[in-house]
Chain A
Amino acid sequence: QVQLQESGPGLVKPSETLSLTCTVSGESVTNDIHYWTWIRRPPGKGLEWIGHVSGNGASNYNPSLKSRVTISLDTSKNQFSLRLSSVTPADTAVYYCARGSLLYMFLDDWGQGALITVSS
């Protein structure tokens, strides 16, 4: 059974870059039938799809965040990461990593989530 765990700093200053890592156990991130996704939920708001990376390193991003987002794989550590630049308080959210199925197009396993607060 695959498990995903987010890690990163809980507090980021405005204008800085938010960096989060998702450690995957039970499956290789280079598996070509899954893709690795970041989602967030701001306080009091709904879920927002941020983007994903496939096992070959190809990525797709939410157009509204595309200019600030990078999602990449670290195959040596079996991890994938999120970098979001020039953050503002509006980027405060619980950030989730999840595994998506390329066969059936849904997110079948999720991490527990990490609260990231943007504040000076």
Chain B
Amino acid sequence: QSALTQPASVSGSPGQSIIISCTGTSSDIGGYEYVSWYQQHPGKAPKVLIYDVRYRPSGVSDRFSGSKSGSTASLTISGLQVEDEADYYCNSYRSDSTYVFGTGTKVTVL
């Protein structure tokens, strides 16, 4: 099972916006509206930021937003803050009724 493809790292200055891409295939991202995004700080469990491509769970900052075009999903972080420095993972449902994570992106706040 191949992981979804994410950039290894993305960086930005406080206040800027950054975009993390997540590329899959027609058997996962391209075929379903079931993309979720997770944030993981060192030594902590992942936390969901976005589900079903673009929806935020209660309590998640509106600085995080999600979208999808074809087989590529994107997470945008607006108004970048120091506490946003973490690892980010996309996840998608697949046609074989399994799930797959992305390769992960390390976000650095300069």
Interface residues of A (CB under 8 A from B): 39, 46-49, 51-52, 60-64, 96, 98, 101, 104-108, 110-113
Contact = CB atoms under 8 A, between A and B. Distances in A.
A62 to B, nearest CB: 6
Given A62-B1, A104-B52, A108-B57, A47 B98 contact: no
B48 A96 contact: no
Q: Sorted from nearest, which 3 A-B pairs have the closest CB atoms?
A: A46-B104, A106-B51, A110-B45
B89 A46 contact: yes
Contacts of A39: 46, 101
Interface string B1-36: 101000000000000000000000000000000101
Interface of B: 1, 3, 34, 36, 38, 40, 45-48, 51-52, 55, 57, 87, 89, 91, 93, 96-104
A contact face: mostly helix, strand, loop, or mixed: strand
B25 to A, nearest CB: 14
B contact face: mostly helix, strand, loop, or mixed: strand
Given A105-B52, A107-B36, A96 B101 contact: no
Contacts of A47: 38, 40, 46, 89, 91, 101, 104
18 contacts: A46-B87, A46-B89, A46-B101, A46-B103, A47-B91, A49-B91, A51-B98, A60-B98, A105-B34, A105-B36, A105-B93, A106-B36, A106-B52, A106-B57, A107-B91, A110-B46, A111-B45, A112-B45
Contacts of A61: 98
A112 B41 CA distance: 12
A46 B8 CA distance: 10
B79 to A, nearest CB: 24
Contacts of B104: 46-47
Nearest to B32: A105
